[in-house]
């Protein structure tokens, strides 16, 4: 089915949020990173400015800068109204209120838009929809990220998530996914089966992170081909 711009509600986070959602340390940042469902996040642009290497994938990258900019302007008030109606599902400590949230999100999306055309030419923004096969070689990336797509959209079904993560693990040494909640801020129904499935073959852990905006959304899933470094806890169960 065609991916229609009229059904896209663009919303993007920034580098500092990614750093905290995924506990990205210097040794992680300096790996070759690929970020799935990266949308209009500022992460790729900011990482590139800092001299790191990131490739972002998302079906919205088939659209032009002008179309995406217009869609962001068209939908932002609707997203903010939904957030206002669900304020209790969020933690207002780091981000103090809706106006501050609007400022942070718009800044991230402007950073993305300003980088988009150059990034597309450099192959940093690649149109792609999971769970389709990506155009990359096995183990081409050190780290694969999914922020606010996999696991969050539990309604896509377990098979979608398993196939998507399998493709991510084909091209990445390690994959990190955040958050582990669904859109109603409840633990995602697909999480236990994902953990069971990948624990058979990989090192799987659930780790607390220093980012929490969705209430109780402060854990990420890590799946790696080898054991994690000695500095990190290794757990094969949900804690």
Ligand X SMILES: C[S@@+](CC[C@H](N)C(=O)[O-])C[C@H]1O[C@@H](n2cnc3c(N)ncnc32)[C@H](O)[C@@H]1O
Interface ranges with ligand X (CB under 6 A): 8, 11-13, 36-39, 41, 58-60, 129-130, 147-149
Least separation in angstroms between residue 119's CB and ligand X is: 15
Nearer residue to ligand X within complex by CB, 38 or 182: 38
Nearer residue to ligand X within complex by CB, 41 or 223: 41
Least separation in angstroms between residue 126's CB and ligand X is: 11
Residue 203 burial (CB count, 10 A): 18
Least separation in angstroms between residue 231's CB and ligand X is: 26
121 by Cβ neighbours in 10 Å (0-12 / 13-18 / 19+) ranks as: exposed
Nearer residue to ligand X within complex by CB, 59 or 142: 59
Instruction: Give ∠ CA 39-44-49 in degrees, rounded to 5.
Output: 150
3-state secondary structure 79-117: HHHHHHHCHHHECCCCCCCHHHHHHHHHHHHHHHHHHHH
Number of separate helices (H) and strands (E) present in the chain = 7, 7
d(CA 178, CA 184) in angstroms, rounded, equals: 15
Nearer residue to ligand X within complex by CB, 31 or 71: 71
Q: Is residue 190 a contact partner of residue 230, using CB atoms and an 8 Å limit?
A: no
Nearer residue to ligand X within complex by CB, 150 or 203: 150
Residue 35, Ramachandran bin (φ over 0: left; ψ between -120 and 50: alpha; else beta): beta
Q: Is residue 177 a contact partner of residue 228, using CB atoms and an 8 Å limit?
A: no
Least separation in angstroms between residue 129's CB and ligand X is: 4
Nearer residue to ligand X within complex by CB, 85 or 239: 85
Least separation in angstroms between residue 188's CB and ligand X is: 14
Least separation in angstroms between residue 92's CB and ligand X is: 19
Nearer residue to ligand X within complex by CB, 4 or 231: 4
Residue facing ligand X at closest CB distance: 39
Place of tokens 């995602």: 188
d(CA 192, CA 196) in angstroms, rounded, equals: 6
Least separation in angstroms between residue 67's CB and ligand X is: 13
């Amino acid at each position: 089915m065609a991916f229609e711009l009229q059904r896209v509600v663009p919303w993007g986070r920034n580098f500092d949020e990614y750093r905290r959602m995924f506990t990205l340390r210097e040794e992680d940042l300096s790996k070759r990173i690929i970020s799935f469902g990266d949308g209009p996040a500022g992460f790729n642009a900011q990482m590139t400015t800092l001299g790191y290497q990131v490739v972002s994938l998302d079906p919205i990258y088939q659209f032009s800068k002008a179309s995406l900019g217009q869609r962001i302007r068209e939908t932002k008030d609707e997203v903010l109204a939904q957030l206002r109606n669900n304020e209790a599902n969020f933690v207002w400590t780091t981000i103090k209120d809706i106006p501050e949230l609007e400022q942070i999100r718009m800044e991230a999306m402007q950073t993305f838009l300003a980088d988009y055309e150059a990034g597309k030419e450099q192959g940093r923004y690649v149109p792609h929809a999971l769970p389709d096969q990506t155009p990359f070689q096995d183990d081409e990336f050190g780290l694969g990220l999914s922020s606010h797509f996999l696991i969050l959209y539990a309604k896509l079904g377990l098979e979608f998530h398993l196939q998507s993560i399998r493709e991510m693990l084909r091209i990445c040494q390690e994959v990190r996914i955040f958050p582990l909640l669904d859109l109603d801020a409840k633990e995602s129904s697909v999480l236990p089966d994902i953990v069971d499935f990948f624990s058979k073959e990989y090192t799987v852990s659930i780790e607390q992170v220093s980012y929490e905006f969705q209430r109780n959304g402060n854990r990420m899933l890590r799946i790696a081909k080898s054991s994690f470094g000695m500095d990190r806890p290794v757990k094969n169960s949900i804690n």
